[in-house]
């Protein structure tokens, strides 16, 4: 049962091959048995899951429900879940029982999905390896000496290890796509504003976007359909109808124009990763796509601009953690300033402190124009590069990550080298575009992700392009050893 | 821009972050490295470029000024570190 996709589970539940309660019980047992090796799950919500499964079985028995009814999923621990600890991977929120559900959680529950628990993540989603979590690093199921990527590393590892058919993730600079690539699963970051950010703990509000992490593009289409939509409670939510993302999955790719940015194939890209991407492009050519080289000339400025914009927004967003209203409070504060300083100093880990300090510095008197304003100007150049490219091509393809999964501890002492592992994903967030990562082969025995970038609100096309590839290949069906 | 010990202490104070004395040199090194990365932006002349705050250049949506939230004080204060009579408690501010 644990190897089935969402679409397969939905069919089996409808045919009464097993019940949602049976499936949920089996997956909870699998999490208990296998997760100690991976550390992908922070909180398993066994009682709530069994209650939701029983309710789903009742709906299914009376002929109600949709494609997610009775399907067990995991939520990244950045999404608020009422009555359940929502830690965001931080000591700061280790004691935080959310008083309400995030819109994404509410929508998936309304669609009948069963929540198995909450997944591990880099602290406040700041990291590319899942090593900054207060709850310890997540291990990559393909090689437990290696990282699963981050920040949605727990979600990625859990889906790859078949602990759940799908999980939610969030992506501020690559946090869905990079871990999806490094664990051999399918991940989609929607257009900025497509999925509500309400109840999704804020890191960098102009970049953060939630999305599905699944094993197939078809499942991502089903899940995105339930997650997306206008939400008046998110001031940047876009009021635009949600298409049926499954409707166009099988459209032929004849004549599809694929652009390859030459800047994504330069120095720093592992040769064996490059070979997998070239192999994937051959598959697309056989399906009738036309591949041409394009240029995104300001690509090299994306990481520098991001490390102003994201920390600046983070320093502002994280000022709410003050030890007064919720979250961690230090022992015996001398005065109010000591309360603030020690609660924050003890509650946040090193990477979060680094980013708060960079953001504070960039926004401090006298430096605003040199850093924040400059970064916003670069952001326009990067956005304009993509807009020009989409006049010539339908989708942009390249590697998701320059390398396969790296070793635990390999980059923890050098933040800048860690930041550069998101070199191909960050620009997409700055431009607000949708992007996907799908499995495209193996290099050095580890999964490689193909990144597919689309124009604004072109998720249906991305899913179609990804689905057709998965009809021609079986990279997405490979299971890590020990997790069959 | 290379940051020294005093810079890190000043920034940490602005951000209201207590930093262990022993960690200050490490932060100074890391933050200086990050700023060196960030300053690669300076190689580009952006004097004629308008800043972009939102990828679709949307502006903040307005809503009618109506009460939409109900009072949930007890629920929200149930997770506070210290409350009394419906008030959040902090160390004494006014002598």
**Domain over B5-43 is classified CATH 1.10.20:** yes
Looking at residue B63, its pLDDT comes to 86
- Tally the residues of chain A: 484
| Residues in A touching B39 (Cβ below 8 Å) | 304
Q: How confident is the model at residue B55 (pLDDT cuts 50, 70, 90)?
A: confident
Given B14, B35, B55, which is nearest A431 (Cβ)? B55
**B79 to A336: CB separation less than 8 angstroms, yes or no:** no
What span, in angstroms and rounded, lies between the C-alpha atoms of A452 and A220?
Answer: 14
Strand pairing of A257-261 and B83-84?
Answer: unpaired
Is B78 in contact with A348 (CB distance < 8 Å)? no
Looking at residue B80, its pLDDT comes to 96
* A positions 136-195 inside 8 Å of B (CB): 192-193
Given A371, A430, A433, which is nearest B38 (Cβ)? A371
**B27 to A236: CB separation less than 8 angstroms, yes or no:** no
Three-class DSSP category at A288: coil
- Please report the number of interchain residue pairs, chain A to chain B, with beta-carbon separation below 8 angstroms: 167
Q: Where are the beta strands (DSSP E) in A237-348?
A: 257-261, 290-294
Whether residue A204 lies within 8 A of chain B, CB to CB, comes out as: no
For residue A80, report the phi and psi dihedrals to the nearest 5 degrees. -65, 135
Given A192, A319, A341, which is nearest B18 (Cβ)? A341
Q: Which of A455, A463, A427, A411 is nearest to A130 (CA)?
A: A411
What span, in angstroms and rounded, lies between the C-alpha atoms of A308 and A143?
Answer: 34
Kindly compute the dihedral angle of the four CA atoms of residues A225, A89, A181, A244, in this order, to the nearest 10 degrees: 0
**B55 to A324: CB separation less than 8 angstroms, yes or no:** no
- B71 CA: distance to closest CA in chain A (Å): 13
Tokens of A288: 């009738």
Given B42, B44, B53, which is nearest A206 (Cβ)? B53
Kindly compute the dihedral angle of the four CA atoms of residues A436, A260, A475, A482, in this order, to the nearest 10 degrees: -70
Is A313 in contact with A201 (CB distance < 8 Å)? no
pLDDT tens digits, chain A, 484 residues: what are they?
A: 999 999 999 999 999 999 999 999 999 999 999 999 999 999 999 999 999 999 999 999 999 999 999 999 999 999 999 999 999 999 999 999 999 999 999 999 999 999 999 999 999 999 999 999 999 999 999 999 999 999 999 999 999 999 999 999 999 999 999 999 999 999 999 999 999 999 999 999 999 999 999 999 999 999 999 999 999 999 999 999 999 999 999 999 999 999 999 999 998 999 999 999 999 999 999 999 999 999 999 999 999 999 999 999 999 999 999 999 999 999 999 999 999 999 999 999 999 999 999 999 999 989 999 999 999 999 999 999 999 999 999 999 999 999 999 999 999 989 999 999 999 999 999 999 999 999 999 999 999 999 999 999 999 999 999 999 999 999 999 999 999 9
* A139: DSSP letter: P
- A375 CA: distance to closest CA in chain B (Å): 7
- B82 CA: distance to closest CA in chain A (Å): 8
Q: How confident is the model at residue B56 (pLDDT cuts 50, 70, 90)?
A: confident
Question: What is the Cα Rg of chain A in Å?
Answer: 21
User: Which residues have CB under 8 Å from A385's CB, separation 6+?
Assistant: A295, A296, A297, A298, A299, A427
How far CA B74 is from CA of A201, A272, A300, A361, B71, in Å, comes to 22, 57, 50, 37, 8
**A364 to B40: CB separation less than 8 angstroms, yes or no:** no
Catalytic residues of A: 76, 151, 175
Residue B57 has pLDDT above 90, yes or no: no
- Burial of A252 per CB tally in 10 Å (0-12, 13-18, 19+): exposed
**A419 to B37: CB separation less than 8 angstroms, yes or no:** yes
What is the sign, positive or negative, of the torsion defined by CA atoms of A433, A438, A440, A444? positive
**B17 to A380: CB separation less than 8 angstroms, yes or no:** no
**B56 to A456: CB separation less than 8 angstroms, yes or no:** yes
Residue with tokens 């009738």: A288
Tokens of A210: 């939630």
Task: Please tell me which residue of chain B has the smallest CA distance to A304.
Answer: B38
Whether residue A430 lies within 8 A of chain B, CB to CB, comes out as: yes
Helices B24-38 + A302-317 axis angle, to 10 = 130
Per-domain residue ranges for chain B? 5-43
Looking at residue B94, its pLDDT comes to 84
Looking at residue A261, its pLDDT comes to 98
**A341 to B31: CB separation less than 8 angstroms, yes or no:** no
Looking at residue A324, its pLDDT comes to 97
Domains along the sequence of chain A with CATH: 6-250 (3.90.1300.10)
Residue A81 bridge partners (DSSP): A84
What is the sign, positive or negative, of the torsion defined by CA atoms of A407, A413, A415, A416? negative
Tokens of B59: 């502006």
Given B44, B56, B90, which is nearest A336 (Cβ)? B90
How far CA A47 is from CA of A74, A101, A139, A218, A426, in Å, comes to 14, 17, 26, 29, 38
- Tally the residues of chain B: 95
Looking at residue B93, its pLDDT comes to 87
Whether residue A264 lies within 8 A of chain B, CB to CB, comes out as: no
| Residues in B touching A315 (Cβ below 8 Å) | 15
Looking at residue B27, its pLDDT comes to 97
A480 Cα distance to chain centroid: 20
**A236 to B76: CB separation less than 8 angstroms, yes or no:** no
Is A31 in contact with A44 (CB distance < 8 Å)? yes
Is A39 in contact with A141 (CB distance < 8 Å)? no
For residue A401, report the phi and psi dihedrals to the nearest 5 degrees. -135, 145
Q: What own/partner pairs with CB < 8 Å and gap ≥ 24 does B65-74 have?
A: B72/A99
Whether residue A287 lies within 8 A of chain B, CB to CB, comes out as: no
- A173 CA: distance to closest CA in chain B (Å): 14
Looking at residue A262, its pLDDT comes to 97
**B34 to A303: CB separation less than 8 angstroms, yes or no:** no
User: Which residues have CB under 8 Å from A52's CB, separation 6+?
Assistant: A24, A109, A113, A114, A115
- B63 CA: distance to closest CA in chain A (Å): 9
Given B16, B33, B58, which is nearest A416 (Cβ)? B33
Residue A292 bridge partners (DSSP): A259
What span, in angstroms and rounded, lies between the C-alpha atoms of A393 and A226?
Answer: 29
Is A174 in contact with A182 (CB distance < 8 Å)? no
Strand pairing of A395-399 and A257-261?
Answer: parallel
Strand pairing of A186-189 and A435-443?
Answer: antiparallel
What span, in angstroms and rounded, lies between the C-alpha atoms of A449 and A402?
Answer: 10
Whether residue A265 lies within 8 A of chain B, CB to CB, comes out as: no
């Amino acid at each position: 049962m644990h190897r089935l996709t969402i679409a397969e589970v939905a069919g089996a539940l409808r045919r009464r091959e097993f019940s949602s309660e049976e499936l949920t019980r089996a997956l909870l047992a699998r999490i208990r048995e296998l997760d100690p090796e991976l550390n992908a799950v922070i909180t398993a919500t066994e009682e709530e899951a069994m209650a939701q499964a029983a309710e789903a079985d009742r709906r299914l028995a009376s002929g109600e429900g949709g494609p997610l009814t009775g399907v067990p999923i995991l939520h990244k621990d950045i999404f608020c879940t009422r009555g359940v600890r929502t830690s965001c991977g931080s000591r700061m929120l280790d004691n935080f029982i959310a008083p309400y559900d995030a819109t994404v959680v509410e929508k998936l529950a309304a669609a009948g999905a069963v929540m198995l628990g909450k997944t591990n993540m880099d602290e406040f989603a700041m990291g590319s390896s899942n090593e900054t979590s207060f709850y310890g690093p997540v291990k990559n199921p393909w090689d437990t000496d290696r990282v699963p990527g981050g920040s949605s590393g727990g979600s990625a590892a859990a889906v790859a290890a078949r602990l759940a058919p799908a999980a939610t993730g969030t992506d501020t600079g690559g946090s869905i796509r990079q871990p999806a690539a490094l664990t051999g699963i399918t991940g989609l970051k929607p257009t900025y504003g497509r999925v509500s950010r309400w109840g999704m703990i804020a890191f960098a509000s102009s970049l953060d976007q939630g999305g599905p992490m699944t094993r197939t593009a078809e499942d991502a289409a089903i899940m995105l359909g339930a997650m997306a939509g206008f939400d008046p409670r998110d001031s940047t939510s876009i009021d635009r109808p949600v298409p049926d993302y499954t409707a166009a999955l099988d459209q032929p790719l004849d004549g599809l124009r694929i652009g390859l940015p030459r800047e994504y194939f330069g120095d720093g890209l592992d040769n064996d990763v490059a070979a997998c991407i070239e192999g994937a492009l051959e598959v697309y050519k056989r399906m009738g796509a036309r591949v041409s080289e394009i240029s995104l000339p300001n690509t090299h400025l994306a990481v520098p601009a991001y490390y102003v914009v994201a920390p600046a927004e983070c320093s502002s967003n994280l000022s709410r953690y003050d030890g007064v209203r919720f979250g961690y409070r230090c022992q015996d504060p001398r005065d109010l300033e000591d309360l603030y300083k020690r609660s924050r100093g003890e509650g946040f880990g090193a990477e979060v402190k680094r980013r708060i300090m960079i953001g504070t510095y960039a926004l401090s008197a006298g430096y605003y124009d040199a850093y924040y304003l400059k970064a916003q100007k670069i952001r326009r150049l990067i956005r304009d590069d993509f807009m020009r490219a989409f006049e010539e091509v339908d989708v942009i393809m390249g590697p998701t990550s320059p390398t396969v999964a790296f070793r635990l501890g390999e980059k923890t002492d050098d933040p800048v080298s860690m930041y550069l592992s998101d070199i191909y994903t960050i620009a997409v967030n700055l431009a607000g575009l949708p992007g996907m990562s799908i499995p495209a082969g193996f290099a050095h025995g580890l999964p490689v992700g193909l990144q597919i970038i689309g124009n604004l609100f072109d998720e249906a096309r991305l899913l179609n392009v990804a689905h057709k590839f998965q009809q021609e290949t079986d990279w997405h069906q490979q299971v890590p050893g020990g997790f069959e | 821009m290379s940051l020294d010990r005093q810079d890190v202490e000043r920034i940490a104070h602005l951000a209201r972050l207590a930093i262990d004395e022993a960690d200050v040199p490490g932060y100074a090194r890391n933050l200086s490295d990050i700023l060196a990365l960030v300053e690669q932006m300076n190689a580009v002349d952006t004097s004629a470029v308008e800043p972009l705050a939102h990828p679709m250049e949307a502006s903040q949506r307005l809503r009618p000024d109506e009460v939409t939230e109900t009072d949930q004080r007890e629920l929200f204060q149930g997770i506070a570190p210290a409350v009394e009579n419906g008030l959040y408690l902090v160390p004494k501010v006014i002598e």
